[in-house]
Amino acid sequence: MAGILENIADTVRRIETRVASIEKEQQNMRAAVLNWRTDVVAPLPRALLSGDITASADEADIVAGAKIILLTLVDDTWVASGGTFNAERQAIIDGLDSGGSETNGWDAERSNLQVTDVVRSSSTLVTITLTALANYDITAQEVITATVPASALVAAGALVASPTFTIQPVISGSIFTDDFESNGIYRMKAVFAAVAEHCMND
């Protein structure tokens, strides 16, 4: 009888040990799942571009200056205000890059923007108020992409802001300017009259 009881006790101990082992494995699995979900769900830092420059901007606006670019961070922050941030202002300006390469286009004139144009409005917002670029002159639209340098951010690497913004050229010398009399009579009237007369004669 004693041997039977000992066997039963031994079996119970083995079962308890196995149950404890299974519970430990389940705990480890739960922890792994939680870690995986954290890795997957954790939001990625982003930079958002807004301001009145996104509503409309043409060559004349850039020549005149005062257009505003807002760079807003999501799930990251700008480096500390004061000397630390001030040292990054030129890099932020340099991150405003055009897809074009005109002689007096954005990339050529960007060096005339001032670091004082760039203001850390809060830990997540930078406001850029553009200096007038008197020599800015383009013949085709320019699309500007803002890349925020990693050195200006606390957590992330460089961030490409979304969306881009577009600058439209101002076309001069068109038929509607050069061919318009000071008294408001359109010069092409004479051309149309000549064509009409020619048709009638034919």
Q: DSSP character for 155?
A: S
**Interatomic CA distance for residues 110 and 123, integer angstroms:** 25
Query: Would you state the structure tokens that stand for residue 178, as one six-digit string?
Result: 């050069």
pLDDT at 174: 45
Q: Would you state the CATH architecture of domain 46-171?
A: Sandwich (2.60)
Residue recorded with tokens 């034919």: 202
pLDDT at 40: 55
**Interatomic CA distance for residues 135 and 65, integer angstroms:** 11
**Pick from 126, 130, 134, 127: which is nearest to 113 by CA?**
130
Q: What is the pLDDT along the chain (202 residues), one digit of tens a residue?
A: 666 767 777 776 777 777 777 888 878 877 776 666 555 566 899 999 999 999 989 999 999 999 999 999 999 999 999 999 999 999 999 999 999 999 999 999 999 999 999 999 999 999 999 999 999 999 999 999 999 999 999 997 999 999 999 999 998 654 444 444 434 443 444 444 544 555 555 5
Cα–Cα–Cα angle for 185, 190, 192, nearest 5°? Answer: 110
pLDDT at 59: 96
* Entry pTM: 0.67
| Omega before 169 within 30 of 0, i.e. cis | no
